[in-house]
Every structure is written in structure tokens, then in C-alpha cells.
Structure 1
Amino acid sequence: MAISWPLVVSLLLSISSLATSASNSDSVHEAFVQCLLDNSHPSHPISEAIFTPQSPSYATVLQSYIRNLRFNETYTPKPFLILTALHQSHIQAAIICAKKGNIQMKIRSGGHDYDGLSYVATVPFFVLDMFNLRSIDIDMETETVWVQSGAILGELYYRISELSKTHGFPAGVCPTVGVGGHFTGGGYGNMMRKYGLTVDNIVDAYFIDVNGRIHDRKSMGEDLFWAIRGGGAASFGVVLAYKIKLVRVPEIVTVFRVEKTLEDNATDIVDQWQHVASKLPKELFVRLVIDVVNSSTRIGGSTVRVSFISLFLGDSKTLVSIMNENLPLLGLSQSDCIETSWIRSVLFWTNITIDSPTDVLLNRTPSLSYLKRKSDYVKQPIPKTALEGIWEKMIELQPAQMIFNPYGGRMAEIASTATPFPHRAGNLWKIQYLANWNQGGAETAQRYIELTRKLHRYMTPFVSKNPREAFLNYRDIDLGVNHNDRGSYLEGRVYGIKYFKGNFNRLVHIKTKVDPTNFFRNEQSIPTLPH
């Protein structure tokens, strides 16, 4: 058989090119590590915060804050280095050295980024991990807290409860979520109808810019302070800490969880809920979790279950009266209700036994699964016949689920331009689409992701349009990807309008001013203006 010398030469050149590329990459990475060491303060050595694939603890550090197992596969791209910053000077060094080497930096606080954008990339990258920077400094006299980005919500709630039975903070219901990502994307929880979003209760911040300089609200200016409260701060710099304003809660709050299936008249109850949920007193939040369960009476063996889950900032007697007046079909009774403290209501909402020791909120290790999330906003009630069609589609697409989170109250009073988060008045509720699974592999993941996409597509007639709005904290790469090249602005506009509506343009102008070279970037970051 004759040897094809052109083919041999081509293969040799390819191998040589790959070897050269790997060598160049290693050289860049080594130079980056040396730069970090050169920029380390003697009083705060950076060496102990550096983890490379050769470090014995590298895999443990990387996996400790991966909250979506879909991004913990053998084929998932891994960072060439993780910097677990122990001091603000480490963040400054990371920015200076990454800029010098034109290296992609990902910023991770709690790792709950649904599509993994805080710790995965398709280009060589390193992770700036914030989990060591978790201090919480509470001043009860001014009712304010300085909380660092690496803290988790459970730690924040627990520390507040140590000092007061009548204070809380309006943020998420999952205690292992990191402060950094949650706050910068908007942040919502079950007190939002009373007090608005997390970002509506932020009064200051410590922020490190593209030149490594540290700012507070005054020195960064109101435009940038506006942008990092709901616009995704990782597009602009690194937030070291936020100063938040505590809110008042009664000593006794009330929670309930009531489940209804289609056989229990769930369709009529949901229909009634959608007409009143956004008009209820601000102190009352009633979420719906909708999934498919086995049925012993329905043909086909499956039915839809709707779980009505509530927090009321008041006593059970008042709650039952409000519910029976506004949502009588649910048939809420006193026996369905649990009166408890605000901090224990957090346990209830996290499906932790309500009388558990509250220091369980300090646990940073949640149960993990493979998952996909998407979002929508509903502005008009869905016809009852359409609800019935939705249930049939959910049975077809099980185990895809939906969660309905009611708006109204304080959310409808705050201007859509007050922060980058634009979804205010005019929204009845937000939908979260979700699928969880426990088997690894790309093929399995694709199957479950597609189930979620199909349910999302089916809901198109019933949700917002032009644009079809989405929630930044429910990061969804299906909405568009930015390759951060010459087409960056146009690519960014595709998802940016959905997340931010009219606020997108202001975010772009601020980004162009504070980070003109687009150093702080990811697959869905705010782009700069085209040159």
C-alpha cells in the first residue's frame, strides 16, 4: 500500500501545532501564577488560595460549589486554576494579572448559577471563588448589615435571627444560595410582595473595578451602583460586599402547604388563584408548585398536583379569614396553618422539619441533582380551558414542573427603571420551569432539557410577548449566547432585552464606560457598544 506523504506531513504539522498550542497555553498559565505571586501582599500571601489541577485539593474545591451536576461531568470544561480569595488584595491581583494575560475570569459565590456560567467556559479560564469571603456585620441600631459576597443566605438569616426576633431580609428561600450571584441578579423571595426584591433593599456596596480599585457607592457613582443591583455585577467588576437594609417582621408568622389534584378540583382553585393572588394583602404570598403524580382513579395513571405554599406575616386566624374571603375554593382551615417565627418559616419553605435547630441554615451542602430551569412572566389570566390543556401537556412531558410566584403588592409600586430588574407592574406572576434528574450523561441531559423546552414552547400563547421576558437569576442559555467578539452587542441584545427590557440600553452604556475592553465577560454578560 502506497504511503500518502502529503497526509503524513499534514498529520505531523497538526500534531506539532497542537503541541505548540499546549506549550503556549502552559506558558501563559505559568506566567499568570507568577503574576499572582508577584502581586501578593506579604501580610496576605496568595499562594494558599491558588489551586491548579496538580493540587491535591483541586477537584474537591472545584466540586464543592457546583450546584448543578450537569456541569460536573468528565467532559465538562475545567478551569486551569481556582483562586479561593482570602482577602480583597487577592481579587485585585486576579484582575490585574488576568487583564495582563487576556485570560477569561469566572466569578463564583454560591455556585447556583443554573447554566453554570460562573464556573464553566469553552475557552481557557480560571475561577475566582468567593466562598471564603463570607463575613456578616450586623448593626441593629441602624438596622443594616454588611454581608460579603461569599456568604450564603442561610448564614445571613441565621445571624439576623441571633440578634432579633422581629427582623428579617427579603431574599431567596434556598439557604445555600450565595449572596453574590443572588443579589446581583435581582433576588426574590416570599416577602417580595411586602418589601420588594433583594435589590430594592441594598443601600451600599464595596466594588472592585477593572483596574483593581475598590469603590463604595459614593466613589463608584449612582449609575454603576444602579447597574450592580440586578444587572449582573459580573459584567462590571467584582462585588466584595453589599450593605443591606433589614425589614421588620412580626414575632409570629404563619405558613401552610395544601395540596390539591385534578380530582380535588385543582383547576377551579388555580383559576381562582390567578385572579386574586396579585391583589391579596402585601403580607401574604401564595406560591403554586405544579407537578405530575400517580393517580389511582384517572385513566393513564397520572394526574396533576398543585401545592399551595404560603407565608403570611401575621397570625393564622387573620390568614384563614383572608383566604376564605379571596380564595374560598381552597378551603383553608386553621388546622392547615402553622404559626411560627420568621426564621423557622425559612426551614418550612426549605422542606426542613420546622422544629429543627435553626443552625441547620449554616449547612453549605445541599442535596444535588442534574437540572434545567427556564422562566416566563404572565400578564393576563389564562383561560380555564387552556389550564386544562396545560395539565394534559404536563402529563405528557413529565417530570417537567412549573412554579407560579405571584407579583403585585410592593412589586407593582416600584418603577421598572428603579433597578435593572424591569418586571414590575403589569405582571400577575412569574413562572419557573424545572426538570430534575439523577442520571448523568449528555444524552440523558438532552432528553430532560428538551422536555423543559417543550413545556416552555407550549406556554407561548399565555405569557409576555415582544419581548418574551425572562428573569436573570434563572439563567437560561437557550435565550442566546454571546461569543464576545465583533458581534458582541447584537448577540447581547438578543438575551439582554428579555432579561432587562428597556433597561438594557442603560446597562450597555454603563458597561462601555466602566469596562470598555470588555474584560468582565461571560456567555450572557452585558456587551459594550459597538465601535
Structure 2
Amino acid sequence: MASVCSLALVLLFSFLSSHAFVVSLASSDGFLQCLSAAIPNQLLYTQSSPSFMPILVSSVRNPRLFTPTTVRPLVIVTPTNASHVQSTVICGRHHDVRIRVRSGGHDFEGLSYRSERPEVFAVVDLNMMRSVRVNRRAGTASIDSGATLGEVYYAVSKASNQLAFAAGLCPTIGIGGHLSGGGFGMLLRKYGGAIDNVLDATLVDAEGRVLDKKAMGRDVFWAIRGGGGESFGIVLSWKVKLVPPPKVTMFKVPKSIDEGVIDILTKWQVVAPALPDDLFIRVVVQNDVAEFQSMYLGTCDMLLPLMESHFPELGLNQTHCKEMTWIQSVPYIFLGSTATVEDILNRTTSLDMSTKATSDYVHQAIPKDGWVKIFILLAKPNAGLLIIVPYGGKINSFSEAATPFPHRGGVLFNIQYMNFWLATTDGSTQTKWVKDFYAFMGPYVSQNPRQAYVNYRDLDLGVNVVVGNVTSYKAAMVWGEKYYKGNFKRLAFAKGKVDPDDYFRNEQSIPPLVARK
């Protein structure tokens, strides 16, 4: 099965190098001179540098978003400390050059390294800032935003086999972007999302100041924990609470149409969100097969009677169970049964596949005839796949306003629709399938607004309009309320407090609202 986390790097490099995009030099010379005076030159990569393209492409995860016409940055800054980030912001403000920030490069629309519109911008690539410092006694970790989930998980496991971190599945995702949008994985029902375990953060704001939780204030600290990246400043590091999972039991059980998968899924969607919090069962559906993938915080002997009581339709037995440590479950569930723990440290991904994705939230069970129609659409040529994640438990226990991430009580599950195609081919048929499937699902998913997950960013939901050099709040509501529901307005006021001039912005950044006194 393909994954968003694959033409080879050298082919992409040579192809793009022959189609350089010429940016306006009106303000760029002064900006570059300002950077050179404040930051070591070996940390700066201009378009004339031989290393520019390899550095830029190093964290491109989706070739669909990087073509000969892609607007490329004027310079890539690879800071090693906070002062380099501060200098980049100050120079950018002074010379009217905007900044995009990249931690892992997994933004589904590539907004961390490209622009949809012609503009002069720089990329701050946090690849060199990825330290993970674990405090075993306190059960916490301080994590630089450039660290990947794999690096975080590995560092936590090395520090203590009694600690884990409740976050996502893909090891190459950067922690900065992951936490900025929410972050959920197989521990969400027991411990909530990644943002629910954030204790503090360090932010460089639009004035170039370094702010911690206290200095940035309650509203801004609330906003950065799920309000999306590149709206409020550059988060350099996060302090998070770690969690204590015991030995876990994993299983992967595929079921096909001939094995009654439609009836099983019809039952799963009601059972999975209501199971004991120690049990998580997600579903990956492709063609006529649904694979049920599970983590149970306990032994197989404890799991089997639980499944027999709550979900006998799946037919789980002893042969399906694989007991392992939490850290062993990370490569097992995402990279496969032959992967090792060390494999999660690999930051590279293949660039031979392009992708398109979007998402929905479901509050009421889909009727059986709806699942029948879903499998008919999945059987079409060039169809994609579904990744269905159950909620319930801890993640649903928070109020919608506790963090900007509003998908809490009443949510049964999240669905991600995704399609893949070879980077050397057109992909229009696969993209159309995603759009058509999204349209078909309208009657079965959340309404008013139809909700989506910001970490599965989709520009088809709407893009910003800039009026008088400030993002229009009214235009941004079109997409903003889908991601944030009623929290969107509060996010805009938080933006108005920390960045009223809208320096940090992209095609789906939060617009500033300034409270009148």
C-alpha cells in the first residue's frame, strides 16, 4: 500500500534545476545582506548555491506540489539556534520578505516550502534544530520543532522503557507541524491527542522576540496548540507530557467483501468509539478489503475475551496477536512487520508517488447501504483508499474550546480520503476520484460546518484573500470554520494580539482580528 510519508531525488533535482523561477529582486538583495551579517553563511542556501536544490527537495514529500512552475524560496535558512530564527524574522520584516517554516515537510499542500502565488519568500528549515531532551523523573520531554516523530519516539524509548508519547504514526513527520495542528495516533483514546499533552512552548514572534508560555500569554499559547502552523510565529520547541503504556498487543486483520466486511464495518463504527480506552482499532480500506489495525494496552490473554464480548464479528484469535513493547509497535504498524526500531530514524521518503487527500468527521453511523456504495466507488479504476480512525475515550473528553482542535464530543471517527499515482504521470483521474468521493460522502458526514482536520490540509476547501496587505477574515471563514468550527474567531483574535500586521501568512493561515478598546 502506498503512503504519503514515493521519481528518485536525483531525477527530480535535475528536472527542476533546469527550470529556475526568477523572483523579483526589489527587496531580496537587502534581505540577503541582512541575513549574511547575522547568520553564518554555511547556514544560508541561495538559489545560486549548488546545495540549494538538494536542501529544498530533502523534505519534499509530494512531487505533485513541486513542479517546474513551483514558486521557490529566495533562500533557505537552516538555523541552529534561536538567534538565527530571530535574525531571519527581523531581516524579513525590514525588507518585506515573508517566511515559510518547515519541520518535516509533510504539509499536505506543501505550504511549508512553496507558494501558490508569485511572491518573494524565504524558508526557515528547522532540520538542524531537532534535539529531544527527556526528563525521566518528571515524565516530560523538551523537543525541538525540527525533530521527527521517529526521532522523538526513539529518544523517549532510550531514556526509559516505561515512557511513551501519544502522537501520530508516520515516523518522518516533523513534530513542529504535527503539534501545530493537533496530532493523533493509536494512543488517542487513552491519552488524547499530542496537543492535549503540551505543557509549554518557545515561540519567535513577528517582532523577533523569544516567548515562552507565560510571555506569549494565555490566548496565544492556546492558539499554537492546534491552530495550524505559520500563523502566530515560529515555534522552536515544545515541552510535552509523556505517558506510561505497558507492553502492548497489536493485530492486523484483513476482511474482504466475500468475508462480510460490510457487515463488520457497519458494526465497527458503533463499537470502536465505545470500547474501553485501552483498545484502539482503526481501519484502512482499499479495493474490496478492509484491514483492521489495533493496539491494545495489555496482553493477548486479556484482549481476546474483550474482543469476544464487544466485537466477535471480527473473529480475532490467538494467531492474530503480536505482543511487543510500545516502541516496537511504531515500526510494526507503519513500516511493516520486518521493520526495526532503528528504521524509524530514517528521515527520507521516496519521491516516486504523488498524492492528493482530504478528510471528514462522522457523528452518526453510516447505514449499511452507504457502506455498500462506498465499496462500489472503491472498486472503480484508479480509486484511492480510506483511513478511518475511531475517536471516543480521552480525545472526546475535552471541550471543543479546550484547544483550537474542536473535534471532540460526539465524533465517532475521522476519515481520510487519499489517492496515489506515479510522479511521472498526470494524476488527474486520481485527483478527480478524491473530489468525487468527497462529494458523495456529503450526506454521511458532519454538517454546518462540514468539518475537516487541519493536518490533512486541503486547499480545495478554500484559500485566503489578501485585502490591503492583510488576510480577509470573511474569506478565510470559508475554510477556517471547517477546521476549527467556533474556535476560528478566537484564533483570529489571538493572531491580532501577536501578529496584527499579518506578517506570518500563507494560503490557509489565520487572519488577524484586533479587538476594539
Question: Normalising TM by the smaller chain, what interval?
Answer: over 0.9
Deviations 1:481-526 (A, max 9, x none): 1133246111111111000001001001110111010000000000
2:3 aligned residue? none
- Tell me, yes or no, if the aligned pair for 1:394 and 1:455 is still in contact at 8 Å: no
Q: Which residue of 2 aligns with 1:157?
A: 153
Which of 202, 205, 212 is the matching residue for 1:209? Answer: 205
Match of 1:313 in 2: 297
Deviations 1:40-74 (A, max 9, x none): 1xxxx431111111101111000000011112222
Matched, 1:60 2:68: no
Q: How many residues align?
A: 490
CA deviations 1:419-445 (Å, max 9, x no partner) are 00000000000000000111335xx13
Partner of 2:282: 287
Contact in 1 for aligned 2:140/2:242 (Cα 8 Å): yes
CA distance in 1, matches of 2:269, 2:345: 36
1:125 paired residue among 91, 104, 121: 121
Deviations 1:347-396 (A, max 9, x none): 11112335x44222111112342001100000001111121111112212
Deviations 1:198-225 (A, max 9, x none): 0000000111111111011111111111
CA distance in 2 between partners of 1:79 and 1:452 (Å): 29
Cα distance, 1:255 vs structure 2: 0.4
3-state SS of 1:267 partner: helix
Contact 2:400 2:409 in 1 (8 A): yes
Matched, 1:522 2:506: yes
1:279-303 deviation line (CA, Å, top 9, x unaligned): 00111110010111xxxxxxxxxxx
1:47 aligns with: 41
Q: Which amino acid in 2 is paired with 1:46?
A: P
Cα shift at 1:322: 1.2
Superposition pairs for residues 427-442 of structure 1, below 5 Å?
Answer: 427-440=411-424
Alpha-carbon deviation of 1:27? Answer: 4.4
Correspondent of 1:188 among 174, 184, 191? 184
Provide Cα deviations, 1:460-501, integer angstroms capped at 9, x if missing partner.
Answer: 110000000000100110110113324611111111100000
Aligned to 2:4: none
In 2, the alpha carbon distance for the partners of 1:223 and 1:284 equals 34
Paired position in structure 1 for 2:95: 101
User: What CA distance in whole angstroms lies between the structure 2 residues aligned with 1:260 and 1:351?
Assistant: 20
Q: Show CA shifts across 1:237-258 (max 9, x none).
A: 00000000000110x2000001
- For 1:140, which of 136, 147, 161 is the aligned residue? 136
What amino acid is aligned across from residue 213 of structure 1 in structure 2? R
2-structure distance, mates of 1:139, 1:389: 50
- Deviation of the 1:26 alpha carbon: 2.3
Aligned residue among 379, 382, 404 for 2:388: 404
Match of 2:350 among 367, 374, 380: 367
**2: distance between equivalents of 1:142 and 1:437?**
46
Return the alpha-carbon distance in structure 2 between the equivalents of residues 351 and 107 of structure 1.
Answer: 27
Equivalent-residue separation in structure 1 for 2:266 and 2:455 (angstroms): 27
Which runs of structure 2 are paired with 1:217-366 in the superposition (5 Å)? 217-250=213-246, 252-292=247-287, 304-354=288-338, 356-366=339-349
Q: RMSD value over aligned CA atoms? A: 1.6
- CA distance in structure 2 between the partners assigned to 1:438 and 1:429 by the alignment: 30
Pick one of 413, 427, 451 that aligns with 2:433. 451
**Deviations, residues 106-157 of structure 1 (Å, cap 9, x unaligned):** 1110000011111111222221111110011111011111000000000010
Does the 8 A contact of 1:371 with 1:437 survive in 2? yes
State the SS of the aligned residue for 1:235: coil
- Runs of 5+ consecutive residues of structure 2 not aligned to the other structure: 1-21
Question: Secondary structure at 1:501's aligned position in 2?
Answer: helix
Among 82, 88, 99, which residue is 2:82 paired with?
88
Distance 2:368 2:479 in 1: 31
Bigger Rg, structure 1 or 2: 1
SS class of match (2:373): helix
The alignment's TM-score, normalised by the length of structure 2, stands at 0.92
CA contact (8 A) 1:99 1:519 kept: yes
User: Does the alignment pair 1:491 with 2:456?
Assistant: no
Question: One-letter code of the match for 1:235?
Answer: S
Moved more, 160-169 or 239-248: 160-169
Q: CA deviation at 1:75?
A: 2.3
Aligned to 1:478: 460
Residue 399 of structure 1: how far off its partner (Å)? 2.4
Aligned to 1:467: 449
| Distance in 1 separating the partners of 2:432 and 2:215 | 46
Q: Aligned partners of 1:484 and 1:232: how far apart in 2? A: 18
SS of corresponding position for 1:278? helix
